Structure 1
Amino acid sequence: MAPRPTVVLIPSWGSGHFMSALEAGKRLLAASGGAFSLTVLVMHAPTQAKASEVEGHVRREAASGLDIRFLQLPAVEHPIDCVDPVEFASRYTQLHGPHVKAAIASLAPSFRAAAVVVDLFLTALFDVAHELAVPAYVYFASPAAFLALMLRLPALREDLTGPGFEEMEGTVDVPGLPPVPPSYMPDCLVRRKIQSYDWFEYHGRRFMEARGLIVNTTIELEASVLAAIADGRCVPGCPVPALHAIGPVIWFDPKDDDQRRHECMRWLDDQPPASVVFLCFGSMGSLDAAQVREVAAGLERSGHRFLWVLRGPPVAGTRFPTDANLDELLPEGFLDATAGRGLVWPAWAPQREILSHAAVGGFVTHCGWNSVLESLWFGVPLVPWPLYGEQHLNAFELVAGVGVAVALEMDRKKGFFVEAAELERVVRSLMNGGSEEGRKARTKASETSAEFRRAIGEGGSSCAALQRLVGEILDLPVGR
């Protein structure tokens, strides 16, 4: 019997990247109609907290009954003297090369690798794919605008007057977007983070080696950017790999029917439709004491209902927030003053479920791409409050390019500090059609929600992209 083709998926260990890539792989598997299986190579996460998250995801998906097998790769030593997380991830990945090669080779004789799909930060593994003559793809969990920027980094380096965009004069050309002020460049590429720039440029260059780029977006959401990439405007003179916009890739945690409804959801049940502004800043988002006071004052003065997921400061040596002590963080009297119209939740909250609730009418978000797609899936307009990664570019695109968000002014010289009066203004603007800008954002978010559903449905743009990708993989020569 001839060996079955399998697609080898190698996700990053970060939960947002891991689950997004796995969900994309499951969609690819479903679109193949059983023509190939999915093999997931799992790296040891570099921290115990991340390792526990990944183990939980693997256990759940392994029990799903789908045609997916998980292979745990051997542990490797951690690289030392890394100046930032992107350098660590890139060098850590390089050390996995021999183990990835051995794992793919071990699939025979039952399976044969038809393609290798790697996370955007794992392009060092292209060397293995090339050596084994297996076609390589990138799964890009971020927006196409960030992909366009990464492809442009080698050329943009020539325009820099310093080691980052913060000293650049004029605007930055990201093909497909309006001219981008340097202040909206991703935080990972500014503040003199030249080593980080080097590694992002490295990955951007290696994207050009891929057989295709699988992007978590839709043609409808980022038409101009996708067209600019496909037309060669990011890397003039070089043919760009095939683009496959298969988004929005959103995963939903399985619900336990016996589990008690989360307190946040029960509170929302008692609120009027579209009356609550939701504030949440992601798995690594926390605010210092001074910023918490400004948020509290802005929410109190806005007069609007709110659900605020407020996390405590990270434990020393980590980037992940803790459960908050509300008595220590919140101004005295705030909870009494807002009783009945506000809920401050000090721990993890079910963001996707909250965004799906009819009572939620706006989302103040750190602008992580997964959060953005979840919000737009449910037609909830946004107030972008970017903190790290590519989130600043996401914020610019959502306001200036897509029109689903109300811009928030922040003092970038003070660590993106937001004054109470500014938060009050944007909440009033966004909620209940408080301004023309808010009304346009609300309308556009609702339209985008409908476009998303059409895109992944039968005959939709993302559904068609998946089918083309399946056909491409099945027609490619098989690696040895």
Structure 2
Amino acid sequence: MATQNPHVAILPSPGMGHIIPLLEFGKRLATLNGFHVSLFIPTTDASAAQSHFFRSINLPQGLHIIHLPPANVSGLIPTDATIETRLSIIIRESVPTLRSALADLALPTILVVDIFGTDAFSIAEELNIPKYVFFTSTAMLLAFLMYLPKLDVEVTGEYVHLQEPVRIPGCKPIKIENLVDALQDRKNDRYGWMLHHARQYRMAQGILVNTCEGLEPRTIKALREDPILRKIPTPSVHPVGPIIQSEAPLLSGKDCLMWLDRQPDESVIYVSFGSGGTLSAEQMTELAWGLELSRQPFLWVVRPPSGNEKSATYFTSGGRCNHPSEYLPDGFLTRNRGIGLVVPSWGPQREILSHKATGGFLTHCGWNSTLESIVYGVPMIAWPLYAEQKLNASTLTEELKVAVRPIVLPEKEGVGREEIKRVVRLVMDVEDGKALRGRVKEVRDSVLKGLDEGGSSYNSLSHVVDEWKISLQTSRGNVE
């Protein structure tokens, strides 16, 4: 017997930055719309943070998590493969197991994949069901990728050697220094994979983007209306964000929240580079000294340095690590006892950002962290590390004006301690940071308004839900 509401199958890529927004999206479909949702998790050498996360969450009725058997990727992923290459191959090799898992369930009426999941489109085509992309990053990155196949033909040589910014129809030009990492070397496999997915996006019936009108009005308008982008063709674009992590049981991290309870309002700078970000030993030393010299209360989620690899813990976040005294400057923990708190490996970010004592966020500019900071009205120090984070940082500083960006020393490709002290004080000072704090609260109010009933994101998601219900009715009619 056919289900009364659509059954949506969702396939995220491995990694907390992909799993959390797709899970939260599934929660909304199940709780607000009564949909049946199956979230399929590709099995990898799961990070401790991911394992902890799945043990701690409560699922609403109608949402089910299914862990796919490990895909056999032995010999397929080079030892020096980038995140983009690894994720793409894992998803590609998981398609057969996803197909088998779906055969054991009530067949879905909709398939939703994320940025790296387009190889699963073949399953939707076999089942003759609509396929959608849930884009976990910005509308700006989506516009860039939609235009990438055309750029790939028109531009000879490397994009990083262009003398002018990259121009995407209807969008703000992208400075060469803010290009996405995967596009900086066209000979690398990661570029080929991004181009592959970009070509596949146009096959989707629609693309849901974790952003909103209040954050990217110009880019969203271009994706919807620019004649060149529409001619590609670009599928219908639905800004449904910000979709961020909802409240979950707090199994650890209580000590840092108790420490925050003892700090004055908006006095603490929170420092975290996400689940995958890492610093070199030299850069970590500079950051430690910069925080100490600022004399500003800080809460730093820290993990061991890892050479020059800026995403070293992407697949292993949350695991056990050496005590911070082993890799922070000598005497740092003793000198800053009472001023700052160092938390090894992982901290409850949602609770930290929403705490009244948190007044600033030094962040890697991952899009999930960015959205959380905006929703909780916390101004940022934009310190991008990898992937599309430089592009995000430029949006935060140049367009939204809710962040400041430290000056990088070209000769060291890093940020010095005096510059770190400067930007921390700039954001946290009562007077100097006043305009920044006021601006982020304006953006927060606009974003939250879009999520309310009748708001732009609310209406956008409602439109998609209606499309899916109509699709289900149509398929029933065809069967009957």
Give the equivalent residue in structure 2 for 1:285.
Answer: 277
Give the equivalent residue in structure 1 for 2:336.
Answer: 338
1:153-164 map, 5 Å: 153-158=148-153, 160-163=155-158
Q: What is the alpha-carbon distance in structure 2 between the residues aligned to residue 88 and residue 344 of structure 1? A: 32
Give the equivalent residue in structure 1 for 2:43.
Answer: 44
> Which one of the candidate residues 415, 420, 423 is aligned to 1:423?
420
How many residues are matched? 465
Q: Deviations over 1:220-257 (max 9, x none)?
A: 1111111111124663523321111111111135225x
Q: What is the alpha-carbon distance in structure 2 between the residues aligned to residue 399 and residue 175 of structure 1? A: 22
> Which one of the candidate residues 118, 133, 136 is aligned to 2:131?
136
Give the equivalent residue in structure 2 for 1:378.
Answer: 376
Structure 1, unpaired ranges of 5+:
none
- 1:121 and 1:274, CA in 2 relative to 1: closer, same or farther beyond 3 A? same
State the Cα distance separating 1:340 from its structure 2 match.
2.9
Q: Deviations over 1:81-112 (max 9, x none)?
A: 443232232233222333333333443xxx44
Letter matched to residue 211 of structure 2: T
- 1:192 and 1:137, CA in 2 relative to 1: closer, same or farther beyond 3 A? closer
Do residues 80 (structure 1) and 80 (structure 2) align?
A: no
State the Cα distance separating 1:469 from its structure 2 match.
0.8
Letter matched to residue 10 of structure 1: L
- 1:28 and 1:95, CA in 2 relative to 1: closer, same or farther beyond 3 A? same
- 1:202 and 1:270, CA in 2 relative to 1: closer, same or farther beyond 3 A? same
Give the equivalent residue in structure 1 for 2:242.
Answer: 248
Q: What is the alpha-carbon distance in structure 2 between the residues aligned to residue 318 and residue 428 of structure 1? A: 29
Q: Deviations over 1:427-472 (max 9, x none)?
A: 121113553xx43322221112222322222222211112111100
Q: What is the alpha-carbon distance in structure 2 between the residues aligned to residue 66 and residue 95 of structure 1? A: 30
Q: Deviations over 1:177-207 (max 9, x none)?
A: 5332211112222256632111111111111
Instruction: State which drifts further: 338-347 or 443-452.
Output: 338-347
Q: What is the alpha-carbon distance in structure 2 between the residues aligned to residue 341 and residue 131 of structure 1? A: 59
Give the equivalent residue in structure 2 for 1:267.
Answer: 259
State the Cα distance separating 1:314 from its structure 2 match.
5.2
Q: CA RMSD in A?
A: 2.6
- 1:97 and 1:255, CA in 2 relative to 1: closer, same or farther beyond 3 A? closer
Matched residue SS, 2:109? strand
Q: What is the alpha-carbon distance in structure 1 between the residues aligned to residue 155 and residue 422 of structure 2? A: 35
1:26-425 map, 5 Å: 26-32=27-33, 34=34, 36-45=35-44, 47=45, 49-50=46-47, 57-58=53-54, 64-78=59-73, 80-82=76-78, 83-107=81-105, 111-158=106-153, 160-163=155-158, 165-175=159-169, 177-191=171-185, 194-232=188-226, 235=229, 237-255=231-249, 262-313=254-305, 320=316, 323-411=321-409, 414=412, 416-425=413-422
Contact in 1 for aligned 2:111/2:130 (Cα 8 Å): yes
> Which one of the candidate residues 434, 448, 468 is aligned to 2:463?
468
TM-score, normalised relative to structure 2: 0.89
Give the equivalent residue in structure 2 for 1:456.
Answer: 451
Letter matched to residue 137 of structure 1: Y
State the Cα distance separating 1:306 from its structure 2 match.
1.7
Instruction: State which drifts further: 385-394 or 146-155.
Output: 146-155
Structure 2, unpaired ranges of 5+:
none
TM-score, normalised relative to structure 1: 0.89
- 1:87 and 1:285, CA in 2 relative to 1: closer, same or farther beyond 3 A? closer
Give the equivalent residue in structure 1 for 2:8.
Answer: 7
Give the equivalent residue in structure 1 for 2:20.
Answer: 19
**Percent of aligned positions with the same letter in both sequences?**
37
- 1:56 and 1:312, CA in 2 relative to 1: closer, same or farther beyond 3 A? closer
- 1:260 and 1:424, CA in 2 relative to 1: closer, same or farther beyond 3 A? closer
Q: What is the alpha-carbon distance in structure 2 between the residues aligned to residue 105 and residue 386 of structure 1? A: 42
- 1:430 and 1:121, CA in 2 relative to 1: closer, same or farther beyond 3 A? same
Contact in 2 for aligned 1:112/1:478 (Cα 8 Å): no
Letter matched to residue 467 of structure 1: S
Q: What is the alpha-carbon distance in structure 2 between the residues aligned to residue 429 and residue 252 of structure 1? A: 31
- 1:27 and 1:382, CA in 2 relative to 1: closer, same or farther beyond 3 A? same
